[in-house]
Amino acid sequence: MKSTSMKQRIIDSAAFLFNTKGYDGTTVREIAKRTNCNVANISYYFGNKEGLLEYLVSSYLEGYLAIIERAYIELDSRSSRECLLLAIRGIMNYQKENRHLTRFVLREITLDTTLIREIMTTYLTKEKYYFQAIFETGIKQQEFSHIPIPYAIMQLKGMLSMPYLHPQYMSEVLHIMPYEMYVTEQYSREIEKWVNYTICVHTQKAIDTFTPIPVNI
Protein backbone atom coordinates (compact mmCIF):
# COMPACT_ATOMS: atom_id res chain seq x y z
CA MET A 1 0.00 0.00 0.00
CA LYS A 2 2.76 2.35 1.01
CA SER A 3 4.80 1.57 -2.09
CA THR A 4 1.84 2.17 -4.44
CA SER A 5 1.28 5.56 -2.96
CA MET A 6 4.98 6.40 -3.25
CA LYS A 7 4.88 5.46 -6.94
CA GLN A 8 1.85 7.66 -7.52
CA ARG A 9 3.45 10.54 -5.65
CA ILE A 10 6.55 10.30 -7.85
CA ILE A 11 4.31 10.37 -10.93
CA ASP A 12 2.46 13.45 -9.71
CA SER A 13 5.69 15.30 -8.89
CA ALA A 14 7.19 14.42 -12.25
CA ALA A 15 4.09 15.49 -14.18
CA PHE A 16 4.06 18.79 -12.36
CA LEU A 17 7.78 19.49 -12.79
CA PHE A 18 8.01 18.36 -16.44
CA ASN A 19 5.08 20.60 -17.18
CA THR A 20 6.37 23.72 -15.44
CA LYS A 21 10.14 23.41 -15.93
CA GLY A 22 10.20 21.19 -19.00
CA TYR A 23 11.55 17.66 -19.24
CA ASP A 24 15.12 18.80 -19.92
CA GLY A 25 14.98 21.39 -17.16
CA THR A 26 13.96 18.85 -14.49
CA THR A 27 16.39 16.60 -12.62
CA VAL A 28 15.66 13.31 -10.89
CA ARG A 29 16.97 14.93 -7.71
CA GLU A 30 14.27 17.62 -7.95
CA ILE A 31 11.57 15.03 -8.49
CA ALA A 32 12.83 13.16 -5.42
CA LYS A 33 12.89 16.37 -3.39
CA ARG A 34 9.34 17.29 -4.34
CA THR A 35 8.14 13.74 -3.62
CA ASN A 36 10.05 13.76 -0.36
CA CYS A 37 11.75 10.47 -1.23
CA ASN A 38 15.21 9.23 -2.23
CA VAL A 39 16.56 9.15 -5.75
CA ALA A 40 16.86 5.38 -5.19
CA ASN A 41 13.05 5.12 -4.94
CA ILE A 42 12.69 6.64 -8.37
CA SER A 43 15.33 4.29 -9.78
CA TYR A 44 13.50 1.36 -8.22
CA TYR A 45 10.18 2.11 -9.96
CA PHE A 46 11.21 3.75 -13.19
CA GLY A 47 14.94 3.19 -13.76
CA ASN A 48 15.84 6.73 -14.74
CA LYS A 49 14.24 9.98 -15.94
CA GLU A 50 13.64 8.53 -19.40
CA GLY A 51 11.85 5.58 -17.85
CA LEU A 52 9.65 7.93 -15.88
CA LEU A 53 8.85 9.92 -19.00
CA GLU A 54 7.95 6.77 -20.91
CA TYR A 55 5.73 5.61 -18.09
CA LEU A 56 3.92 8.96 -17.86
CA VAL A 57 3.28 9.22 -21.56
CA SER A 58 2.31 5.57 -22.01
CA SER A 59 -0.12 5.43 -19.12
CA TYR A 60 -1.68 8.71 -20.21
CA LEU A 61 -2.12 7.49 -23.77
CA GLU A 62 -3.50 4.13 -22.63
CA GLY A 63 -6.27 5.87 -20.72
CA TYR A 64 -6.87 8.16 -23.68
CA LEU A 65 -7.07 5.27 -26.13
CA ALA A 66 -9.44 3.33 -23.87
CA ILE A 67 -11.98 6.13 -24.31
CA ILE A 68 -11.83 6.11 -28.08
CA GLU A 69 -11.92 2.32 -28.10
CA ARG A 70 -15.11 2.39 -26.02
CA ALA A 71 -16.70 4.71 -28.58
CA TYR A 72 -15.50 2.43 -31.37
CA ILE A 73 -17.02 -0.66 -29.74
CA GLU A 74 -20.35 1.17 -29.52
CA LEU A 75 -20.47 1.12 -33.34
CA ASP A 76 -22.22 -2.25 -32.88
CA SER A 77 -25.20 -0.69 -31.19
CA ARG A 78 -25.19 3.03 -31.95
CA SER A 79 -25.00 5.34 -34.94
CA SER A 80 -21.60 6.57 -36.10
CA ARG A 81 -22.58 10.10 -35.19
CA GLU A 82 -23.35 9.05 -31.62
CA CYS A 83 -20.04 7.16 -31.41
CA LEU A 84 -18.11 10.17 -32.65
CA LEU A 85 -19.86 12.42 -30.15
CA LEU A 86 -19.15 9.87 -27.39
CA ALA A 87 -15.46 9.94 -28.29
CA ILE A 88 -15.39 13.76 -28.29
CA ARG A 89 -17.12 14.07 -24.92
CA GLY A 90 -14.94 11.32 -23.47
CA ILE A 91 -11.71 12.90 -24.69
CA MET A 92 -12.69 16.35 -23.46
CA ASN A 93 -13.43 14.94 -19.99
CA TYR A 94 -10.28 12.85 -19.89
CA GLN A 95 -8.17 15.83 -20.89
CA LYS A 96 -9.80 17.97 -18.26
CA GLU A 97 -9.30 15.37 -15.52
CA ASN A 98 -5.63 15.04 -16.43
CA ARG A 99 -4.88 18.56 -17.45
CA HIS A 100 -1.23 18.75 -16.38
CA LEU A 101 -0.41 15.51 -18.13
CA THR A 102 -2.51 16.41 -21.15
CA ARG A 103 -0.66 19.66 -21.58
CA PHE A 104 2.67 17.94 -21.17
CA VAL A 105 1.94 15.03 -23.50
CA LEU A 106 0.42 17.23 -26.21
CA ARG A 107 3.49 19.42 -26.15
CA GLU A 108 5.84 16.46 -26.17
CA ILE A 109 4.08 15.14 -29.26
CA THR A 110 4.95 18.36 -31.09
CA LEU A 111 8.64 17.56 -30.61
CA ASP A 112 10.51 15.07 -32.72
CA THR A 113 12.48 13.15 -30.09
CA THR A 114 13.59 9.58 -30.65
CA LEU A 115 12.46 8.54 -27.18
CA ILE A 116 8.92 9.66 -27.76
CA ARG A 117 8.51 8.88 -31.45
CA GLU A 118 8.05 5.13 -31.03
CA ILE A 119 5.53 5.32 -28.22
CA MET A 120 3.61 7.97 -30.11
CA THR A 121 3.50 6.07 -33.34
CA THR A 122 2.14 2.97 -31.60
CA TYR A 123 -0.62 4.74 -29.70
CA LEU A 124 -1.51 7.26 -32.35
CA THR A 125 -1.77 4.54 -34.97
CA LYS A 126 -4.37 2.80 -32.81
CA GLU A 127 -6.15 6.11 -32.26
CA LYS A 128 -6.26 6.63 -36.01
CA TYR A 129 -7.62 3.10 -36.48
CA TYR A 130 -10.59 3.76 -34.18
CA PHE A 131 -11.38 7.18 -35.60
CA GLN A 132 -11.08 5.86 -39.12
CA ALA A 133 -13.45 2.97 -38.38
CA ILE A 134 -16.03 5.39 -36.98
CA PHE A 135 -15.76 7.71 -39.98
CA GLU A 136 -15.79 4.85 -42.49
CA THR A 137 -18.87 3.30 -40.92
CA GLY A 138 -20.61 6.66 -40.98
CA ILE A 139 -19.80 7.17 -44.65
CA LYS A 140 -20.81 3.63 -45.55
CA GLN A 141 -24.15 3.99 -43.78
CA GLN A 142 -24.66 7.37 -45.47
CA GLU A 143 -24.79 9.11 -42.14
CA PHE A 144 -21.62 11.07 -42.86
CA SER A 145 -20.88 12.86 -46.09
CA HIS A 146 -17.91 11.79 -48.20
CA ILE A 147 -15.27 13.44 -46.09
CA PRO A 148 -11.58 12.78 -46.68
CA ILE A 149 -10.94 10.93 -43.41
CA PRO A 150 -7.31 11.91 -42.62
CA TYR A 151 -8.26 15.58 -42.93
CA ALA A 152 -11.28 15.13 -40.70
CA ILE A 153 -9.03 13.50 -38.09
CA MET A 154 -6.64 16.43 -38.33
CA GLN A 155 -9.43 18.94 -37.85
CA LEU A 156 -10.84 17.04 -34.92
CA LYS A 157 -7.47 16.63 -33.20
CA GLY A 158 -6.62 20.27 -33.82
CA MET A 159 -9.83 21.40 -32.16
CA LEU A 160 -9.53 18.97 -29.24
CA SER A 161 -5.95 19.87 -28.37
CA MET A 162 -6.30 23.65 -28.68
CA PRO A 163 -7.30 24.39 -25.04
CA TYR A 164 -4.34 22.43 -23.67
CA LEU A 165 -1.76 23.75 -26.08
CA HIS A 166 -2.81 27.37 -25.61
CA PRO A 167 -4.22 27.91 -22.11
CA GLN A 168 -2.50 31.32 -21.72
CA TYR A 169 -3.88 32.45 -25.03
CA MET A 170 -7.37 31.46 -23.96
CA SER A 171 -7.23 33.17 -20.60
CA GLU A 172 -5.25 36.27 -21.56
CA VAL A 173 -6.52 37.00 -25.05
CA LEU A 174 -9.94 35.37 -25.34
CA HIS A 175 -10.71 35.80 -21.64
CA ILE A 176 -12.16 32.34 -21.16
CA MET A 177 -10.82 30.05 -18.48
CA PRO A 178 -9.60 26.92 -20.25
CA TYR A 179 -10.22 24.50 -17.38
CA GLU A 180 -13.61 25.69 -16.17
CA MET A 181 -16.39 23.16 -16.46
CA TYR A 182 -18.71 25.43 -18.46
CA VAL A 183 -15.92 26.26 -20.91
CA THR A 184 -15.18 22.59 -21.55
CA GLU A 185 -18.87 21.90 -22.01
CA GLN A 186 -19.49 24.81 -24.32
CA TYR A 187 -16.41 23.98 -26.36
CA SER A 188 -17.52 20.34 -26.67
CA ARG A 189 -20.88 21.54 -27.98
CA GLU A 190 -19.13 23.67 -30.59
CA ILE A 191 -17.11 20.70 -31.78
CA GLU A 192 -20.34 18.70 -31.87
CA LYS A 193 -21.79 21.30 -34.20
CA TRP A 194 -18.91 20.58 -36.56
CA VAL A 195 -19.92 16.90 -36.45
CA ASN A 196 -23.61 17.67 -36.94
CA TYR A 197 -23.29 20.24 -39.68
CA THR A 198 -19.99 19.58 -41.45
CA ILE A 199 -19.46 15.84 -41.08
CA CYS A 200 -23.04 14.57 -41.21
CA VAL A 201 -24.96 14.40 -44.45
CA HIS A 202 -26.85 17.63 -44.92
CA THR A 203 -30.51 17.07 -45.16
CA GLN A 204 -32.93 19.75 -44.09
CA LYS A 205 -34.51 17.20 -41.80
CA ALA A 206 -31.25 16.48 -40.01
CA ILE A 207 -30.60 20.18 -39.52
CA ASP A 208 -34.11 20.82 -38.22
CA THR A 209 -33.89 18.10 -35.61
CA PHE A 210 -30.63 19.23 -34.01
CA THR A 211 -31.26 20.98 -30.73
CA PRO A 212 -30.32 24.65 -31.04
CA ILE A 213 -27.26 25.55 -28.99
CA PRO A 214 -27.66 28.46 -26.56
CA VAL A 215 -25.78 31.61 -27.51
CA ASN A 216 -22.96 32.54 -25.18
CA ILE A 217 -20.73 35.24 -26.63
Residues near a copy of itself, by CB under 8 A: 24, 107, 109-112, 117, 120-121, 124-125, 128, 146-155, 157-163, 165-166, 168-170, 172-176, 186-187, 190-191, 193-194, 197-198, 202, 204, 207, 215-217
Beta carbon of residue 96, minimum distance to a copy of itself (angstroms, whole number)? 15
Q: How far is the CB of 189 from a copy of itself (least distance, A)?
A: 8
**The dihedral sign for the CA sequence 174, 97, 115, 23:** positive
Nearer to a copy of itself, 43 or 186 (CB): 186
User: Which CB, 44 or 194, lies closer to a copy of itself?
Assistant: 194
Strand ranges in 58-114 using DSSP code E only, listed in sequence order: none
Q: Please tell me whether residue 38 adopts helix, strand or coil conformation.
A: coil
Report in angstroms the alpha-carbon separations of 79 from 108, 150, 153, 172, 207: 34, 20, 18, 39, 17
Task: For a copy of itself, give the closer residue by CB, 110 or 211.
Answer: 110
Q: Is the dihedral of CA 92, 97, 100, 102 positive or negative?
A: negative
Closer to a copy of itself by Cβ: residue 151 or 181: 151
- The b-or-e profile of 186-212 (16+ CB within 10 A means b, else e) is ebbbebbeebbeebbeeeeeeeeeeee
Provide the minimum distance between the beta carbon of 2 and a copy of itself in the complex, in angstroms, as a whole number.
35
Provide the minimum distance between the beta carbon of 207 and a copy of itself in the complex, in angstroms, as a whole number: 5
State the nearest-atom distance from the C-beta of 156 to a copy of itself, in Å.
Answer: 9
Q: Which is nearer to a copy of itself, 4 or 125 (CB)?
A: 125
Q: What share of the chain is helix, strand, coil (3-state, %, to 5)?
A: 80, 0, 20
- Separation CA 6–CA 2 (nearest Å): 6
